[in-house]
């Protein structure tokens, strides 16, 4: 998740603030915890995530990411979910059923509470 809470639309965000937190530098706690900042201003945040349509989603997907995606969506964080269908063609044997696999994945998203009115799903 990338956040740029100190910027206005006319300002440029700092270059790659998420990289610093990966190597242990504390850039998140400048104005409190990231979670607290999300709760007090979810519109300042944006998340992009996704899945490859390699089969039905399962409990591991739900506990691992889907539950949090729905939570962030419900808080008002701008959310984008990418269905990475073309990536499947290079390393899986589902190419013949790609359209069906994409449809199943999107149906699973809807079943767990991802709302296409509040979360942009690419494609469809």
Query: What's the CATH code of the domain at 91?
Result: 3.40.50.620
Bigger pLDDT: 77 vs 12: 77
Residue 60 sits in the same domain as residue 101: yes
Residue 78 sits in the same domain as residue 116: yes
Residue 3 sits in the same domain as residue 54: no
Based on the structure, what is the number of domains in the chain?
A: 2
Residue 64 sits in the same domain as residue 97: yes
User: Residue 32 pLDDT more than 80?
Assistant: no
12: left (phi over 0), alpha (psi -120 to 50) or beta: beta
Whole-angstrom Cα distance, residue 18 to residue 24?
A: 10
Segments forming the whole domain that contains residue 121: 43-124
Per-residue model confidence (pLDDT) at position 83: 92
At a CB cut-off of 8 Å and minimum separation 6, what does 102 contact? 53, 83, 85, 123, 124
Lowest mean pLDDT among 34-38, 85-89, 105-109, 114-118: 85-89
Residue 48 sits in the same domain as residue 13: no
Residue 55 sits in the same domain as residue 83: yes
- Per-residue pLDDT band for 117 (boundaries 50, 70, 90) equals very high
Arithmetic mean of pLDDT, 102-112: 93
Residue 83 sits in the same domain as residue 113: yes
Arithmetic mean of pLDDT, 41-57: 90
Which of 15, 23, 9, 74 lies closest to 47, judged by CA?
74
**Backbone phi and psi for residue 3, each to the nearest 5 degrees, phi listed first:** -130, 145
Per-residue model confidence (pLDDT) at position 94: 63
Per-residue model confidence (pLDDT) at position 91: 65
């Amino acid at each position: 998740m990338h956040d740029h809470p100190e910027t206005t639309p006319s300002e440029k965000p700092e270059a790659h603030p998420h990289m610093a937190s990966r190597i242990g530098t504390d850039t998140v706690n400048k104005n409190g915890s990231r979670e607290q900042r999300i709760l007090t201003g979810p519109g300042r945040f944006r998340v992009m995530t996704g899945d490859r349509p390699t089969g039905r989603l399962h409990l591991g997907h739900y506990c691992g990411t889907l539950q949090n995606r729905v939570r962030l969506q419900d808080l008002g964080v701008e959310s984008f979910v990418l269905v990475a269908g073309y990536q499947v063609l290079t390393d899986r044997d589902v190419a013949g059923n790609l359209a069906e696999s994409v449809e199943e994945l999107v149906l699973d998203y809807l079943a767990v509470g991802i709302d296409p009115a509040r979360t942009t799903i690419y494609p469809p």
